[in-house]
Structure 1
Amino acid sequence: MPIVLTSLPQVSAGLAHIFTTLLSSCYVGSIYASKEARLQFSSNNLRIQAGHIRNKERDERWRDDPDVIRARLVAVSLATLTCCMIIFCLFWYLVGGEAKFISLAIRETLTHLGLRFNDVSIYPYLVTPLLFLGPLYALFLSESLPFQRSWSFNKDVFPIFFSVKGLRNYIIAPITEEVVFRACILTVYHLSHATRNKMIFLSPLSFGAAHLHHAWDTYNRYGRSSAALKRAVVSTLFQFTYTSIFGFYCSYLFIRTSSVFPPIVAHIFCNIMGVPQPGFEIRQSPNRKWPIVFAYLAGIVAFTFTLGPWTHMEGSLYWK
């Protein structure tokens, strides 16, 4: 007779914080675990013009070097599997820790991580494109949408799906980051009975903090000067803010739908679109200034009104 689980023991808030630190450290630390994945910079004194990236020297290893990217893709993929195993071990312990409970622990792990293809409709996947109505309209004006005149397979598809940098930016990073920083971490906080507001607005701070290590890369690439330090601090603070806000949104999607797939798709879409640049787009099409402004405003309004209704899923594990 199959075992039916009606409730799980509660995890303390302190233990949830420990697990969050462990999961985040496992993911970020994985890219420094091997020599192939670590960055390497020259210690030579450098004199370059402020605001310019210096030339890469021999024997240096930069973030966008293909061999570094490959090593890091392997590292974060293994780290993500490890994080999922940590969650499985936690559930196995909570349900009894005996061999007969392994299948039950697997089921609870897949359900809580949102890795099951449940009854999520198409609507949660459409909310993010609505927010980007302005940039999408600007792409339409420049005839850069798929199958328009300025769109091409080699320029717009190959770099995303068939290059090592595209694989990192648009496939592996969004998938692994959402599984770890959304599914795994929110699962732990859910088990601690954290409130929805804490899960949405506090847990993503670990996602933002996970990007702080990019400051060292920026500081070295821009010459290790006071100007480079200022640039590293400013860019890192901006990235922390942007990724944290984006984390709020993806956490909301995950909690509303009990599925990790809407956040993954939103993450991929946002990475492809990049940060909106209305000023640049208006300069590109000055005779369409007000239609572009209207498209941006319409997208924000549509996003605001559809975010709640379109992400509502009956029987959501997290949103009750």
Structure 2
Amino acid sequence: MLEPEHVLVRQVHTKCWVCVVSCLLLACLYVGSLYVWKSSLPRDHPTVIKRRCASVLLVAALSPVAVKAWAHWAEIRVNVSVWELMGVRMEGFIPAVTLPLLLAVVFYLGPLVHSAMDNPGGFTLELHSAFDVQSWRSCVGDAVWLRDQVVAPVTEELVFRGAMLPMLVPCAGPTGAIFTAPLFFGVAHLHHVIEQRRLHKESMSVILLVAGHVVGAVVCHSFCNSQGLPDIGSALRHPQRSALLFSYLMGVLLFVVLLFPLTDPFFYGTIPVCRLAPAPESAC
């Protein structure tokens, strides 16, 4: 009577082992692709940027193949396409672009107010640039901007979110997968620490603060890359400290209040990856 239970446990453990190893291999492939080009130039040099962008774009393009290989290896069978499992679909597209971005903007309310206080003209100029065709042309011609605002968000989200969530859901469930995937993302960014220490660019404390990134949808990722980390220290020393800290606090509170309403599945349609969960009817 105990044999079927033992077989079930063994299958679950094997599946988890396959899921974790698959994610690790994919993370290593992504990071490893950045270093196939031998160069002593800094990471912000246009030549380095172009080569690395080509590498990660190739890895991102191959990520559906990795998911397909994982599904075969783990003996996973679902009646949806690989792209749908990875979250690339038209259903709920507009809400998926706008609502998470709204959440990100709300979360950055403090830094945005901070920027407007310190440089009203610059803040207005940024708003004007957002609707100026010439400004966009200038940005597209900037290798650093393309890397930070386009290539990095698209490839990192596709690999570390789109490809890894399907791999983790059968083992960890949807909630566990959401909190586990960023761990692989964080480990994959340790190479920035090594690289910056090698170039003696920053102190270790500064490097550790900037090595991590917010995991989210591509537009949120791009927006967060453009804003950087909130400068709380500067806010505490600001002449209008009280008003500024209030805006920081309001941003966090509004984010918490709006988080669940704006991420309600009602806006985004069915979630194909939930079909991989052990109990999709209760988990999703």
Contact 1:175 1:264 in 2 (8 A): yes
Distance in 2, matches of 1:65 and 1:272, equals 19
CA contact (8 A) 2:129 2:136 kept: no
TM-score when normalising by structure 1: 0.70
1:91, 1:203 → 2: CA distance? 17
Superposition deviation, residue 193 in structure 1: 3.6
- Is this contact kept in 2: 1:66–1:164, CA < 8 A? yes
Paired-residue identity, %: 26
Separation of aligned partners in 2, 1:289 and 1:269: 25
User: Under a length normalisation based on structure 2, what TM-score does the superposition of the two structures give?
Assistant: 0.78
1:130 counterpart = 2:106: yes
1:66 and 2:18 matched: no
Q: Of 78, 83, 107, which aligns to 2:63? A: 83
Q: What letter corresponds to residue 123 of structure 2 in structure 1?
A: L
Separation in 2 of the partners of 1:110 and 1:291? 46
The Cα offsets for residues 88-135 of structure 1, whole Å up to 9 and x where unpaired, read as 344467578xxxxxxx98x52111111112125232331111001111
**How much has 1:85 moved relative to structure 2?**
1.6
Distance verdict in 2 for CA 1:123–1:151, change over 3 Å: closer
Is 1:140 matched with 2:95? Answer: no
Whether the aligned pair in 1 keeps the contact of 2:109 and 2:251 (CA below 8 Å) is: yes
Aligned equivalent of 1:111: 84
Indicate whether 1:237 and 2:208 are aligned: yes
Q: Are 1:187 and 2:161 an aligned pair?
A: no
Q: Which among 180, 192, 201 is matched to residue 179 of structure 2?
A: 201
- 1:234-313 paired onto structure 2 within 5 Å: 234-239=205-210, 242-243=212-213, 246-247=214-215, 250=216, 263-281=217-235, 286=239, 288-313=240-265
Q: How big is each residue's C-alpha offset from its partner over 1:285-319, in whole Å with a ceiling of 9 and x where there is no partner?
A: 62x33221111111110000111111111333435
- Distance in structure 1 (CA, Å) of the matches to 2:254 and 2:127: 28
Relative to structure 1, the CA distance from residue 281 to residue 158 in structure 2 (aligned partners, 3 Å threshold; closer, same or farther) is farther
What residue ranges of structure 2 are gaps of 5+ in the alignment? 1-10, 275-282
Aligned to 1:101: none
8 Å Cα contact 2:210-2:229 kept in structure 1: no
Looking at structure 2, the residues matched to 119 and 300 of structure 1 have their Cα atoms a distance apart, in angstroms, of: 26
* RMSD over aligned Cα atoms: 3.0
User: Matched residues in 2 for 1:178 and 1:72: separation?
Assistant: 16
State yes or no: 1:166 paired with 2:145: yes
The match for 2:16 among 6, 10, 13 is: 13
The alpha carbon displacement at 1:187 in A equals 1.1
Higher helix share: 2
Q: Deviations over 1:117-173 (max 9, x none)?
A: 212523233111100111111223322335479979699756643300111111100
Post-superposition offset of 1:75? 0.5
Greater relative CO (CA pairs within 8 A, separation 6+): 2
> Residue type matched to 2:63 in 1?
C
